[in-house]
Amino acid sequence: MSIVLYVGGSRDGEMGSMPWGLRKSMLETENGPEIYVERMLPLRGMGTVRVMALESLQDDAASARAVKHYAARRN
């Protein structure tokens, strides 16, 4: 198991336990389905991290949100 940070959707910033090997998941919301895909993102000062990001979110936006959430968890 690993702890994965969700970025870019209604679960933005929520960390949850996910089994290794899971590459894609969907969450049904009031506004319709949100599809998350696994991404390995290089984050400044943290190295490369694994996140589940909203499929339509560009990498730079996903990285910016991930850095924000990881920084908040450190404080």
Q: Mind listing the pLDDT tens digit for each residue in 1-11?
A: 678 889 999 99
CA 39 vs CA 30, 56, 67, 75: distances in Å: 25, 12, 14, 25
pTM score above 0.85: no
How many separate domains does the chain show?
1
Give the structural domain span for 22.
Answer: 2-74
Query: How large a percentage of the chain has pLDDT more than 70?
Result: 97
* The pLDDT of residue 69: 86
The predicted structure's pLDDT at residue 20: 76
Q: Tens digit of pLDDT for each residue in 33-60?
A: 999 999 999 888 888 888 999 999 999 9
